[in-house]
Amino acid sequence: MSNQVEEMLNGINVEGLQEYRKVIGKSANDAMIDYKVNLEWLGGTKSRVTTQGITLGDQKLERNFSYEVDEPPQLLGEDTQPTPQEYLLGGMGACMLVGYTVGAAVKGIKLEKLEIDIEGGLDLRGFLEVNPDSPIGMKDVKYKIRVKGDGTEEDFKEIHEKVMETSPNRATIAESVNLIPELVVEK
């Protein structure tokens, strides 16, 4: 068996992760990551999101992925793609899933199964300006994590607590984030 295979657990290069932790421990600049996306209106409720690259420390990482967003017919869409809220919840869940996978690998736990079910709801009366007292955003987001592997229940509880503390997308949804809007009206 090669060293490359031996270093990988759950698809994670644990040794590489430990080395990267050392690098960013010595250099705050190397720990900074910035994401950029562009959204283009495609008509009606449809939009296309295209990644515009990532800046990681001094590195520029080329990214060129696209996906589309739509709404169901009840919300004036054509139901051709997931909604913005489905992408939001999916992004949070995917971020937490990474945390579980890495956490298990660092502890030497081989995963057999890892699934997250997430649900969140909106009161559309706020968004559609029917009731000024109705909230605009989701009030509650519920999630259930199902995990199976060769770790103990205590191991998985520790991983769970660490993911709840350190998942960036979970924290962004759970806590206030500073939004800096700018409107440019073209003529």
Which residue bears the tokens 């999101």? 49
First and final CA of the chain: distance in angstroms?
Answer: 63
Instruction: Check pLDDT > 70 for residue 6.
Output: no
Domains of the chain, CATH where assigned: 83-187 (3.30.300.20)
Residue owning tokens 């590489």: 16
Which candidate, 144, 147, 166, places its Cα nearest to that of 104?
A: 147
Band (102; pLDDT cuts 50, 70, 90): very high
pLDDT band at 2 (very low <50, low <70, confident <90, very high): very low
Q: Mean pLDDT over all residues of the chain?
A: 94
Arithmetic mean of pLDDT, 18-29: 94
Q: Which residue has the higher pLDDT, 2 or 52?
A: 52
Q: Which residue's entry shows tokens 């967003």?
A: 69
Q: Which long-range contacts (CB under 8 A, 24 or more apart) does 163-172 make?
A: 163/96, 163/99, 163/100, 163/103, 166/99, 167/92, 167/95, 167/96, 167/99, 168/95, 169/91, 169/92, 169/94, 169/95, 169/96, 170/92, 170/95, 170/96, 172/92
Q: What is the mean pLDDT of residues 36-55?
A: 97
Query: Which residue is associated with the tokens 């800096």?
Result: 180
Task: List the structure tokens of 2.
Answer: 């090669």
User: pTM here?
Assistant: 0.89
